Structure 1
Amino acid sequence: MTAPVLVIGGAHIDRRGRIGGQTRLGASNPGTWFDEPGGGAFNAACNLARLGHPVRLIAPRGGDANGQRVAAAAEQAGIEDCPVVFLDRATPSYTAILENDGNLIVALADMALYDLFTPRRLRSRSLRDSLAATQNVLCDANLPGDTIAALATSAARLGKPTAVIAISPAKAIRLKTCLPLLDHVFMNAAEAEVLAGARAVDPADWPDLLRRAGLRSGTVTMGAGATVAFDENDIALLAPPRLEAISDVTGAGDAFAAGFLSATTCGETIGEALRHGTACAAITLRSPHATAANLTRELLKSGLALVPAAAILPRNPLNSGHE
């Protein structure tokens, strides 16, 4: 059996309110409300499982009804759920307010519980066994920075690559001191700016900025703008296909990470992995949920037909041999 992908990080309740008409700040707005299990790690794990990968999820949560709801949703998605339960705590939550077109206005993350997942938790027998049995590690920046650093160090000793979803600018800062330890970081432009200490004028400038910050490999998405992926050898640039309608932006970045990681796990090039991540994100953007329940390898294959080939850019000769 193929080794499972080990996913560690946020698995909580996503609450989203969507305004029905034109947004009026500082006033009551008519709209609709719903909630569902979510979180960067949880969403990515669901997508990976639906793409046919065995997935083991380790996520802190509370000993409450919401924690049980997350567990039930993980089981339904085909994930092997191995939670770290704090019986006297509430499961974290993420509350977002969206405009009528699905774009985010503001969000509130009530996630102090994740700070209790300290590096000491990585010493448990079950987690050490999970790390030894995995092929790849994916975590998110909901975890404390020192925990991410310790996880990446432990994984590297076993020859297991560690990728991280940056989650938000406020949480991406946790990765700044451990960038050289990480094998890949999934970011949007705001998160990349926090890590690089500068904003790229052109998408093709992100690799140099992030390499100087210590990162060997990463991807930077910019909504409808061009996405760039880079590793120690190559840079790939892709303009996402235009979508006529977006149902909800929540979870698109997590879907991109899952699609990209799925492709690299199967031996695809960085350019093809960029296409897979883009197609997976597009499928999710059309879904009213943070993960598309209908996602399959077959659906992803049909989505790939709409995604152009990535352009492979030449490396700057002034930087060759100095990364």
Structure 2
Amino acid sequence: MTGRNILVLGGAHVDRRGRIHGETAPGASNPGSWFVEAGGGAFNAARNLARLGHAVRLIAPRGGDSDGELVAAAALAAGVEDTPFIFLDRATPSYTAIIERDGNLVIALADMELYRLFSPRRLQQRAVREAIARADAVLTDANLPEETVAAIAKAARSAGKPACGIAISPAKVARFRTALPVLTCLFMNEAEARALAEARPDDPRQWPDILRRAGLSSGVVTRGRNAAIAFDATGAAMLAPPLLEALGDVTGAGDALASGFLSARLDGQSLAASLRQGTAAALIAVRSPLAVAEELEPELLARVVALVPEAEMLA
């Protein structure tokens, strides 16, 4: 695995997760506990990529508060070069989620208003333009406004750099629509793919053709415990993840898959091998109570990859 320079722009905020201790009782008080850590799709991916040996630079909006200090400390601990846009009079964005005992998400609330201030004009700053020029790849997420996501993808394409995206949620994935023609790859789950393509195929093997018709040249669609689909301009692959007896927390699993997949692609691996490595990274993430597994590193990832079956190439 060869370390690359990766520029990440997007969500870096505070995650607050409440975990229910017993069976979930909707509409009632549920005994549980709270856990607070730094999060955000882009930031989770940035920390994973840094743990895999890449030189990662993060550019994200942040408030001048204690939550912002928590994010800064997490970036430092992960070895991410942290260069935020700081708004001293604003609150750092936050994501609050309720998790069931088995690790699955019940409901979440995202307070992301600050990200609206990350406008395309920010990309004209010399430091940002130079960061794009130095990067081997650019990664963003749908926490940013649609026009900013499109401008990031176009700036990367103009510089000859691959630009990848993380969908974040069914409500936000539409922010990638304008960017699809110039986006190198988009990572999404099946609910996000349905929202983006406005389609619900009977057979998941239809996702590559559906998303290509929507304008996306390459992407990965995860499906929870079911087989994930990856495709590019030349083919498609499907891989069913190994079953786990217990989940730590599914938060961050998709971001880990994106990190493992992107790392493999930058290392010259095939579509199928990249999907296999992304799946292995997700398996490490879901066994951890944290959004970014502290134990993730190249040697562990290689060992887990060996436990993941080969991907099936689709006709």
**TM-score (normalizing by structure 1):** 0.96
What aligned pairs does 1:165-244 form with structure 2 within 5 A after superposition?
165-244=166-245
What is the CA-CA distance between 1:198 and the residue it aligns to? 0.3
Q: Deviations over 1:283-323 (max 9, x none)?
A: 00000000100101011011111100011112xxxxxxxxx
2:130 maps to which residue? 129
Cα gap change, 1:280 to 1:3, in 2 (>3 Å): closer
- After TM superposition, what 4+ stretches of structure 1 lie above 3 angstroms from structure 2? none
Residue type at the aligned position of 2:42: A
Q: Deviations over 1:66-106 (max 9, x none)?
A: 11110111011011111111111000000000111110000
Residue type at the aligned position of 2:12: A
Residue type at the aligned position of 2:237: A
Give SS of 1:192's match: helix
Give SS of 2:177's match: helix
1:78 maps to which residue? 79
2:311 maps to which residue? 310
Residue type at the aligned position of 1:206: W
Give SS of 1:170's match: coil
2:43 maps to which residue? 42
What is the CA-CA distance between 1:2 and the residue it aligns to? 5.5
Structure 1 contact 20–31 (Cα < 8 Å) conserved: yes
2:53 maps to which residue? 52
Residue type at the aligned position of 2:196: L
Residue type at the aligned position of 1:202: D
Residue type at the aligned position of 1:118: S
CA distance in 2, matches of 1:298, 1:2: 14
Structure 1 contact 3–133 (Cα < 8 Å) conserved: no
CA distance in 1, matches of 2:198, 2:212: 12
Residue type at the aligned position of 1:248: D
Q: Unpaired runs of 5+ in structure 2?
A: none
CA distance in 2, matches of 1:200, 1:135: 35
Give SS of 1:101's match: coil
CA distance in 1, matches of 2:144, 2:168: 10
Residue type at the aligned position of 1:198: A
Q: Does 1:21 align with 2:27?
A: no
Residue type at the aligned position of 2:284: I
1:94 maps to which residue? 95
2:32 maps to which residue? 31
Structure 2 contact 99–105 (Cα < 8 Å) conserved: yes
1:289 maps to which residue? 290
Give SS of 1:186's match: strand
CA distance in 2, matches of 1:200, 1:80: 41
Question: Structure 1 residues 183-192 or 198-207, which shifts more?
Answer: 198-207
CA distance in 2, matches of 1:73, 1:233: 38
Q: Deviations over 1:240-286 (max 9, x none)?
A: 11111101000000000000000001000000000010000000000
**Identity across matched positions, percent:** 62
Residue type at the aligned position of 1:216: S
CA distance in 2, matches of 1:162, 1:297: 23
CA distance in 2, matches of 1:146, 1:185: 16
CA distance in 1, matches of 2:301, 2:18: 28
CA RMSD of aligned residues (A): 1.0
Give SS of 1:211's match: helix
CA distance in 2, matches of 1:92, 1:52: 28
CA distance in 2, matches of 1:177, 1:156: 14
CA distance in 2, matches of 1:93, 1:184: 26
CA distance in 2, matches of 1:281, 1:141: 20
Q: Deviations over 1:5-34 (max 9, x none)?
A: 001100000000001101111111100111
Q: Deviations over 1:103-161 (max 9, x none)?
A: 00000000010011010111111100100000000100001010011111111111001
What is the CA-CA distance between 1:177 and the residue it aligns to? 2.6
1:160 maps to which residue? 161
Residue type at the aligned position of 2:32: G
Give SS of 1:169's match: coil
Cα gap change, 1:227 to 1:116, in 2 (>3 Å): same
Cα gap change, 1:287 to 1:197, in 2 (>3 Å): same
CA distance in 1, matches of 2:69, 2:134: 26
What is the CA-CA distance between 1:3 and the residue it aligns to? 4.6
Residue type at the aligned position of 2:107: V
What is the CA-CA distance between 1:178 and the residue it aligns to? 2.3
Give SS of 1:287's match: coil
What is the CA-CA distance between 1:208 and the residue it aligns to? 0.5
What is the CA-CA distance between 1:64 and the residue it aligns to? 0.8
What is the CA-CA distance between 1:200 and the residue it aligns to? 2.1
2:7 maps to which residue? 6
Residue type at the aligned position of 1:147: T
The count of aligned residue pairs is 314
